[in-house]
Structure formats: structure tokens, C-alpha cells
Amino acid sequence: MNGFIDGHCHISASEFDKDFGEVIRKAKKNDQVNGQRAACLSDLEGVLDLVVKHANKLVAVGEIGLDFTPWYCKSKEQRDEQRQVFIQQIQLAKRLDLPVNVHSRSAGRPTVNLLKEQGATKVLLHAFDGKPSVAMQGVECGFYFSVPPSIIRSEQKQRLVAKIPLENLLLETDAPALGPEKEGRNEPSNITISCEWIAKIKNITTDEVKRQTRLNALTLFPKLSAFLKR
């Protein structure tokens, strides 16, 4: 197979309940925050043991990370607790020899710094919203960065892609979020938009982007190979 690999997607989200089959059909055709809150330590109770129990079935540990958006994380105490949760998750992933799929919003530098401090090496930073200079610190550590279709309307994402080597990029949709339009539901089929914009920015072909991002994904998530053979 030589299709796209979506490095970060929420296909089980309720937005897809009514037409899940059609969404999957469209995705296959192209393959040729309500109630949310900051994570706290009590959320880990029982979860870490569950991850260990099913580690042989897991491709990665995630989505984990830091979200310091002001209206979402309102105090230093919340930020500190998020860091402690993140540290435990990183260390668990290292112990299980699994990559981490990382969220960082309004926390690009703290996220990269913490990953480096904790010795994480198998890292995907999805929809990174930090500065290219911070992202390059991650690139120096071998981290990967995945690019959503919102690149079509995001100068920050465009600057990021211009700076990060293709060898460190993956495609993602983050469906149902981060679509080509600010409002409206994103879908896995929009993965082609990410591919096309990376190609445009780097002045290469979409086939080259597709090939290299697929290779990158399989390098970071080697267990994916077993699923692709099915």
C-alpha cells in the first residue's frame, strides 16, 4: 500500500455519529470544546495500569501534553499539575518503548523543553502552534511534527512547514477540528490538503510529500505496519 497516513485524528468523536460510514468511505476514496478541562493527577488513577495491560495492542501513548490556553488553564497550580501528569505519561511511554502523540496549545516551548528534560525521543507534536525556532529544537532531538488542513488558513503553520525538514513532517487532520474552514467539521478526506500545501511550500511534488510522510509515520509508529497489511 502507498496511501496517506493520518497521524492524528478523532474519528470516534460524536460529530461523526450520524454519517460515520460515509466519512470512512470518503477517507478511503482519498487513500489512494465542550466540557473539557485541564488534566489532573487523579485522572491517572487506573489509567496507567490499563495502558500497561494493553501495551502490546497500542501504537502510541496519546494524546497527551500541555494546554496553557488562558481561558482553559487559569492558574500556576493547574499548569504545574499538567506538567506532573505529562511527566508520568512520558515516563510510562518510555518504559513501554512506545512513541508519544503530543498536544501543545499556548505551550510550545514548555512542551518541547519538558520532552527534552524527560528524555523522550519518539515524539509526534501534532498541530504545533509554537514558533519555528522552538520547533527546530525538537527537530534536533528527532521529534516529528504533523500538519493539519488548517495550514491553508494559518500563516503560523505555513512558516512552520517552511522551516521543518520534510524528514520530520507527518500529515494529520485532527478531524473533526482544524479543517480548511474555521467553522465546520473537518474530515479525514481532507488529508490531501495538508499534503498539497506542504508540497507547495517546499516546491516539491505531492507524491514526494506523500511518500516521505508515510515513511516518517511508519518509522515513528512501527506497529502501524501490521495494520496496513490487513
Residue 5 DSSP code: -
pLDDT greater at residue 193 or residue 11? 193
Question: Would residue 4 count as lying in a domain?
Answer: no
Answer yes or no: is 35 within a domain: no
% the chain with pLDDT above 70: 94
Q: For residue 46, tell me if it sits in a domain.
A: yes
pTM comes to 0.85
> For the residues 57-66, what does the mean pLDDT come to?
95
Is residue 3 one of the residues assigned to a domain? Answer: no
Cβ neighbors of 229 (< 8 A, separation 6 or more) are: none
In a domain, 56, yes or no: yes
Predicted pLDDT of residue 189: 95
Domain that holds residue 172: 14-29+40-228
**Residue 5 placed within a domain:** no
Residues 55-84 have a mean pLDDT of: 93
On whether residue 157 sits in a domain, the answer given is yes
Average pLDDT over residues 113-130: 98
* Cβ-defined contacts of 48-52 (< 8 Å, 24+): 48/88, 48/92, 51/92, 51/96, 52/92, 52/96
Please report, for the domain that includes residue 121, its CATH number. Answer: 3.20.20.140
The yes-or-no verdict on residue 151 having pLDDT over 70 is yes
Task: Write out pLDDT tens, residues 14-42.
Answer: 878 778 788 777 776 667 545 677 788 99
Number of domains in the chain: 1
Q: Is residue 149 part of a domain?
A: yes
Residue 33: predicted pLDDT: 47
